[in-house]
């Protein structure tokens, strides 16, 4: 046995070295394998809260209805230049990524800002100030051995427990380390450690990490997890995340696709999060399981989907990073993630290519939530609200998107989204319209 252990270790080191060399033999070079893209995005958005008075931004709707009234309207144009280098040749390859993002205000005024589209001062009040133009630059350095890559700098992680969002003019960006590995077929692994981020309507790369609903500060965010493709039909994911001094969060999902005929299929997805307080418990005591189940039936150009979602716990399901919620009923306006909330969704999608209009897709959905109860949360935590139990709400979303299929304007897209949201006394109702025009260009 004493002779066997060194032999096995030497064999493993040799195998890893050979893998690294084999992977790096495919490296074309720092410049030779680089890319440079430019995305132009024109974004118009308005929200009408129907009950006049002041207009205060809050954090993703976290403020009570009495503090979030009024009308918000913003229109801006953004340009996102992204450079991605290749890797130098050799056993270990080196590279760098960089970005330059900029936005120009086209229309907005005092008392009408607060949609998260433009950077503002004074938290969206009537005295808010919005710059005519703004921008940010950043980047990251990276190295690769075999099929494993380590990166440090400003990045856009996409882990389900820590994912930077891109649902406004400019995307969120986080600062830290990220390790990703694709050493094994059908298996993807990653880990990350992040200490700051740049919000979607901020130009500061060292913003404090704050949760989306409670505004809970975390000193850092760490995650570990990955995905595994079992076969052509079944995929699994599992992650663990830690918001330092706030909570620990665990995620799991399973996606299954069942082909029926050439133009018919069923798909199913189960998603679950488990959140528990840790350290200083800055959000208060938390013990919440949040899960959703979705089923879809695709037939020709049509798709009909149903979803059920439940928050089993007395606290709001909260998260860091706008896209760090993979629950089925996280939709255009609301996430249906309040304490003890139960929600159901029905959705219909239509691809108009079958009717002679390629590039045009339509969508409609309706979500209804009830059993919301804030009164059982930790009274010393951020999610407790006295007097709000047995609350209800609903949302209806309509969307049309058209992508030009050929010619000089190929991939130019137009997306029109409308949402109607109504709630009982715990939240303000709203009507929302978004018009998004995007034109991607590949420069290198």
Q: Using CA of residue 238, residue 289, residue 430, residue 379, what is the dihedral sign?
A: negative
What's residue 65's pLDDT? Answer: 39
Per residue in 176-212, pLDDT tens? 999 999 999 999 999 999 999 998 888 888 889 999 9
What's residue 108's pLDDT? Answer: 81
d(CA 251, CA 284): 21
Q: Is the pLDDT of residue 52 over 50?
A: no
Confidence of residue 24 (pLDDT cuts 50, 70, 90): low
d(CA 393, CA 367): 9
d(CA 157, CA 44): 26
Residue 96: phi, psi to the nearest 5? -155, 145
328 and 377 Cβ atoms separated by less than 8 Å: no
At a CB cut-off of 8 Å and minimum separation 6, what does 161 contact?
223, 225, 239, 240, 241, 249, 251, 273, 319, 324
* Predicted model pTM: 0.89
What's residue 69's pLDDT? Answer: 54
DSSP code at position 89: S
d(CA 305, CA 411): 27
What are the structural domain ranges in the chain?
38-442
At a CB cut-off of 8 Å and minimum separation 6, what does 121 contact?
128, 129
What's residue 13's pLDDT? Answer: 39
Q: Is the pLDDT of residue 112 over 90?
A: no
What's residue 205's pLDDT? Answer: 80
201 and 119 Cβ atoms separated by less than 8 Å: yes
d(CA 367, CA 344): 6
Q: What is the mean pLDDT of residues 402-406?
A: 97
* More confident call, 343 vs 112: 343
For the chain, give the mean pLDDT: 90
Q: Is the pLDDT of residue 3 over 50?
A: no
What's residue 239's pLDDT? Answer: 98
Tokens of 82: 């992204």
What's residue 113's pLDDT? Answer: 81
Q: Is the pLDDT of residue 128 over 80?
A: no
Q: Is the pLDDT of residue 227 over 90?
A: yes
What's residue 14's pLDDT? Answer: 44
Report CA 70 to chain centroid distance, whole Å: 27
Confidence of residue 275 (pLDDT cuts 50, 70, 90): very high
DSSP string for residues in 358-405: TTEEEEEEEEEEEEEE-TTS-TTSSS--TT-EEEEEEEEEEEEEEE--
* More confident call, 72 vs 244: 244
CB under 8 Å, gap of 24 or more: what pairs does 354-363 form? 354/300, 354/301, 355/301, 358/405, 359/402, 359/403, 359/404, 359/405, 360/400, 360/401, 360/402, 361/400, 361/401, 361/402, 362/399, 362/400, 363/397, 363/398, 363/399, 363/400
Q: Which CATH superfamily is domain 38-442 in?
A: Porin (2.40.160.10)
What's residue 53's pLDDT? Answer: 36
Tokens of 401: 């998107």
What's residue 125's pLDDT? Answer: 52
What's residue 127's pLDDT? Answer: 59
Report CA 235 to chain centroid distance, whole Å: 20
67 and 54 Cβ atoms separated by less than 8 Å: yes
**Lowest-confidence pick of 50-59, 99-108, 140-149, 216-225:** 50-59
**Lowest-confidence pick of 1-15, 18-32, 33-47, 311-325:** 1-15
Q: State the first-to-last Cα distance of the chain, in angstroms, to the nearest integer.
A: 55
């Amino acid at each position: 046995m004493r002779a066997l252990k060194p032999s096995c270790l030497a064999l493993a080191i040799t195998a890893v070295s050979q893998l690294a060399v084999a992977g790096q033999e495919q490296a074309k070079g720092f410049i030779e394998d680089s890319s440079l893209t430019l995305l132009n995005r024109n974004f118009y958005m308005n929200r009408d809260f129907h009950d006049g008075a002041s207009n205060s931004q809050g954090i993703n709707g976290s403020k009570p209805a009495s503090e979030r009234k009024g009308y918000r309207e913003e229109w801006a144009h953004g340009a996102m230049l992204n450079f991605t280098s290749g890797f130098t040749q050799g056993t270990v390859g080196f590279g760098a990524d960089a970005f330059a993002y900029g936005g120009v205000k086209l229309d907005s005024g005092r008392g009408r800002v607060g949609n998260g589209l433009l950077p503002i001062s004074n938290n969206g009040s009537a005295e808010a100030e919005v710059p005519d133009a703004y921008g940010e630059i950043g980047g990251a350095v990276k190295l690769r051995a075999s099929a494993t890559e380590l990166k440090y700098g400003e990045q856009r992680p996409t882990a389900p427990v820590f994912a930077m969002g891109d649902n406004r003019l400019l995307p969120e960006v986080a600062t830290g380390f990220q390790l990703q590995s694709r050493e094994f077929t059908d298996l993807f692994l990653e880990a990350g450690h992040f200490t700051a981020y740049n919000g979607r309507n901020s130009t500061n790369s060292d913003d404090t990490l704050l949760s989306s609903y409670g505004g809970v500060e975390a000193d850092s965010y760490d995650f570990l997890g990955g995905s595994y493709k079992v076969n052509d039909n079944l995929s699994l994911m599992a992650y663990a995340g830690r918001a330092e001094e706030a909570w620990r969060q665990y995620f799991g999902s399973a996606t299954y696709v069942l082909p029926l005929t050439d133009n018919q299929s069923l798909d199913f997805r189960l998603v679950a999060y488990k959140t528990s307080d840790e350290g200083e418990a800055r959000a208060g005591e938390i013990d919440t399981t949040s899960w959703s189940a979705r089923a879809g039936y695709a037939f020709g150009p049509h798709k009909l989907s149903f979803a059920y979602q439940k928050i089993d716990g007395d606290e709001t399901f909260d998260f860091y990073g706008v896209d760090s919620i993979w629950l089925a009923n996280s939709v255009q306006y609301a996430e249906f993630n309040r304490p003890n909330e139960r929600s159901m969704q029905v959705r219909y999608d239509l691809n108009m290519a079958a009717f002679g209009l390629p590039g045009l897709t339509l969508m409609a959905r309706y979500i209804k939530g009830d059993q919301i109860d804030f009164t059982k949360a930790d009274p010393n935590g951020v999610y407790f609200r006295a007097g709000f139990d047995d609350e209800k709400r609903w949302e209806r979303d309509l969307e049309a998107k058209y992508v030009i299929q050929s010619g000089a304007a190929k991939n130019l897209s137009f997306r029109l989204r409308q949402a109607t949201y109504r709630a009982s006394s715990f939240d303000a109702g709203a009507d929302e319209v978004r018009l998004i025009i995007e034109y991607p260009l590949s420069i290198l």
